Amino acid sequence: MSRVAAGTEVCIKQLAASPELRARLRELGMGEQRRIKLLSRQANLICQVCNARFGLSEEVAESIWVEPVTRDTAPD
């Protein structure tokens, strides 16, 4: 996720982190197959998940593997 441009909507494919961090991210709604939007790339990455905004460190963002959401995969 750390390489995604601000304003991009992505789908989480894998959480490549420690079991504790994976559990915490899932508790926050950032589990696999969840769509999120990266809002800002400053000192921390600000993303929108389920109408809530979260700040993530670069280190945590590195552990979240994503793919961009395209029109073909967007819901109707």
pLDDT reading at 60 higher than 80: yes
State whether the Cα torsion 34-40-41-42 is positive or negative: negative
User: How many whole angstroms separate alpha carbon 69 and alpha carbon 7?
Assistant: 12
The position carrying tokens 């945590």 is: 60
Under 8 Å between Cβ of 1 and 56? yes
> Nearest-CA neighbor of 41 among 25, 56, 24?
56
Name the amino acid, one letter, at 63: S
Q: Quick one: what percent of the chain has pLDDT higher than 70?
A: 92
Q: What is the mean pLDDT of residues 47-57?
A: 92
Give the model's confidence band at 57: pLDDT under 50 very low, under 70 low, under 90 confident, else very high. very high
Please provide the average confidence, as pLDDT, over all residues in the chain.
Answer: 89
Percentage of the chain beyond pLDDT 90 is 72
